[in-house]
Amino acid sequence: MSIKSRTIKVNKDKSLSKIQYGKKDIWWFFQWLKVCVDLEGSSIEFNQANKNRQKSSTKHKIKITGWKEIDLKEIKSMKHHLKMSDKEMFNYLNKMFNKYIHLFGDFTIRYVKTPKDFIQDDNYFTVQIPLSKNRVEIDTELDKLKQIHKIPNIEKKRAISFYRPVKHKELNTLYQVWLRKNKDFKWQGSLKTLNNSEIARQVGYGGFRQVQLAYVSAKNLIVNLSKGIFPKNTL
């Protein structure tokens, strides 16, 4: 599966930005980032068996060292992902997409209508252009400004690049397993903590072993995400 460049409308004034990832790709990134942020400071436990079939466990403490371009404190301040309704999650994902889309694509000239539209990105410099200026004057003065203020030409580079293509179905299934292992879900008319066989029936797996493997993959995904790698579900 290859990721194709595509053009997406990013706001109501019909401006366009060329990005490398689809909207759903970026949504999944922020959905799992919310999980990771909510877990920061806690430990994720991994159970394993040695050659003598004796079980042991290891713990990975979640400490986010990547994604410095994103305001993680803002994400932390929002309702915990396990308590979000579908509508609240949708609103969160849309907000993050609109706010941070510039991190995932090629750099384009942005029209800033109000101060709140400014982005904190070293790949941009900000000027004010009088409406009376023509194109030739604008180009000439912009070149002079860059020389006077020693603004370098920086090679275009995406601030955030993914480890591999995003597989939506895979990430959705891992997320559904993660939720069901960590909160109560309806089963036979009542809310309860589901066992692996019950989770398998709800998410469409053939048996409980697939649920066990998926849960390990989800935990691996979170640990890697905390280190600035997405979406990698093996350690």
Instruction: Determine contact, residues 59/43, Cβ cutoff 8 Å.
Output: yes
- Which amino acid makes up residue 48? Q
- Which amino acid makes up residue 203? V
| Calpha distance 113→27 (Å, rounded) | 25
Phi, psi for 48 (deg, rounded to 5) = -150, 160
Instruction: Determine contact, residues 183/199, Cβ cutoff 8 Å.
Output: no
Render pLDDT for 110-149 as a digit per residue (tens, 0 to 9): 778 887 777 766 767 888 888 888 888 888 888 888 888 8
Render pLDDT for 69-83 as a digit per residue (tens, 0 to 9): 999 999 999 999 999
Render pLDDT for 161-202 as a digit per residue (tens, 0 to 9): 899 999 999 999 999 999 999 999 999 899 999 999 999 999
Give the mean pLDDT of the chain: 86
Report CA-CA distances (Å) from 172 to 32, 70, 120, 177: 10, 23, 31, 9
Q: What is the pLDDT confidence band of residue 209, given thresholds at 50, 70 and 90?
A: very high
